[in-house]
Amino acid sequence: MGKHYVGAMKEAGGIVVSLDNAGEPDFQVDITDEKAVKEVIEKIVAKHGRIDVLINNAAMNPAVGDKNSDKLFAPVDEYPLELWVKELQVNLTGMFICSKAVIPVMKKQGKGVIVNVASEVSEIAHDHRVYNTPGKYKSPAYVTTKTGVVGLTRALAAQLGQYNIRVNSFSPGGVENPKMPKDFVERFGSTNMFSRMAQPDEYNAAIVFLCSGASSFMTGHNLVIDGGKSAW
């Protein structure tokens, strides 16, 4: 989804710098390494002179059908502690580290925007029946961290409003992925009011809204877009 957000921000006229630990980002960095993140932020500021927006999107969230991620769907009593710790580090601690690194820059500028990507499970429990497989469950760490993202968002917003820095979270519903089995896509889609999963580009406008002046009086809020699932 990060690639789609990058494209949306560029289309809106933004100068985008992407960070990731894989693929082909502008900067390859482990967001759980505070020193490395700080060095990258310094390079970005040296090149562009400012940072107006931070979108925290990184997370461990394998698609159903990914054969390399079976352990991430294990029952809670069999869930490996090392995966729990890693998910907390990537999904939540990494978000804190990145935010901490850009906040001094935004304070100096006198304004800024931070958008933390959470999930529909920040508001509701995950319905494990969509897997239709006994013993298969959504990672407890994923649900925990995405709920924590909303708490972190409110904590940051409460401190940073005085500096004209807005902090909001975004909780999207499930997005269809080519790796997902067709029967899973149908079951997951049936849990919301549109009876389908979201398509990757359907959240682009929400990201642009949260990052732009269109949401200038909005902070500490969790924007949920889940096809009406949480309103049943």
pLDDT along the chain (232 residues), means of 10: 93 96 90 97 98 95 68 91 95 98 98 98 94 90 96 98 98 93 95 97 97 98 98 92
- Whole-model pTM: value is 0.94
Residues labelled catalytic: 142
Q: What does residue 86 show for φ and ψ, rounded to 5 degrees?
A: -65, -40
- Dihedral sign (CA 47, 204, 20, 87): positive
Contacts of 104 (CB under 8 A, 6+ apart): none
Q: What does residue 37 show for φ and ψ, rounded to 5 degrees?
A: -65, -45
Residue 164's pLDDT is 98
Q: What are the boundaries of each domain within the chain?
A: 2-231
> For domain 2-231, is the CATH number 3.40.50.720?
yes
| CA within 13 Å, CB half, 136 | 11
Residue 63's pLDDT is 66
pLDDT digits over 194-217, tens only? 999 999 999 999 999 999 999 999
